[in-house]
Amino acid sequence: MRIEEIRQQLRAAGAKSCHEERVLRAWTQLVGLDTRHRKAEDFLPLAVRNLLPALTAQLDGLVRLRSEHPGEDGSARLLVELADGQTVESVLLPRDGLCVSTQVGCAVGCLFCMTGQEGLLRQVGSAEIVAQVVLARRMRKISRVVFMGMGEPSHNLDNVMEAIETLGTSAGIGHKNLVFSTVGDHRAFERLPQGPVKPALALSLHTTKADLRARLLPKAPRIAPEELVELGEQYARATGYPIQYQWTLLAGVNDSDEELEGIIRLLKGKYAMMNFIPYNSNEGLGFERPSAARAGEMAGRLHQSGILARLRDSAGQDVDGGCGQLRARASSKPIRIHAPKAPHK
């Protein structure tokens, strides 16, 4: 289901835009339909009120919690079942955050990501994306949403943009607290500045070498790292939000001094920050985490060069938190792919 379908049902019952917003606000913020000064029966058309029980049942049926896996860091991995039985993953993050999925599977096929190994099964509708937030809000406060779960958001732009607009308006989440994460796609760079809600942007860089990036992200658009950073810089200056560059640290693959020099060359003077994320072990994918000492050294080197760098762990390391792992464990056919390492240069 898409948010537009919800609006169409309400319009068919005689709802005006203010009525639509009130219903969406009640759903996404878990509040009643009454306002401070007026009861719902005083301002909602009768046909709309008659529709609400059936509509509420539809919304409640969009997602359900299949399983929850708390982590020691305050996070929790959620396996979320959609109405058709497919599953996606959401992650409750520390400090009131939530990571949501935008696709069942993913077509980019990143060699180090479990989600990409099964390919794309289907898109997640905008209402299903928002429903992940509603589900999480029933569990704890959510004031930040990152589109970094299963799937590539730029491959599901219509649904993701619709969800972002709803979350940034009806759901009351600050625009800079909505983070669109992508491997980079010209369509996303064209669409994001046009929306009424302009999210922060996270770009998955992973390497400064175009040939290695093509190997690691085999089905990502062929955008050279230099062009990707330039497109990101344009968006950062237009919105006032720094770009978050994501770099999954793979031992012996992209943790070399040569890569560090490339990062400094690309990001020095840019409105940007680098997030180093040591690899989240996925059995059978053929990659390893670098040592903590090496990861810390790389972040320190960037700081010394005037580039803001943060060393982060994916939430839920102690509960096999890598995207796609919960889904793979729940599947009757676990995925095991052995990928060769790229040479350390």
311, two tokens: 């060393």
Distance CA 169, CA 160 (A): 14
Query: 3-state class of 285 per DSSP?
Result: coil
DSSP state string for 43-98: HS-HHHHHHHHHHHHHHHTSEEEEEEEE-TTS-EEEEEEETTS-EEEEEEETTTEE
Task: Answer for the pair 311, 299: CB distance below 8 angstroms, yes or no.
Answer: yes
89 counts as catalytic? yes
Tell me the residue type at 337.
I
CB of 110 within 8 A of CB of 150?
no
- Identify the helix (H) or strand (E) that includes residue 133: helix 126-137
Q: Give the containing element (helix H, strand E) for 147.
A: strand 144-147
Choose the catalytic residue: 89, 118, 152, 233. 89
For residues 186, 191, 192 and 194, what is the CA-based torsion angle, rounded to 10 degrees?
Answer: 140
Cα separation, 151 vs 122, whole angstroms? 10
- Residue 245 CA to residue 233 CA, distance in Å, equals 11
Select which of 106, 110, 113, 323 is catalytic: 323
Type and span of the H or E element at 227:
helix 225-239
Contact 106, 151 (CB under 8 A): yes
* Residues with a known catalytic role: 89, 323
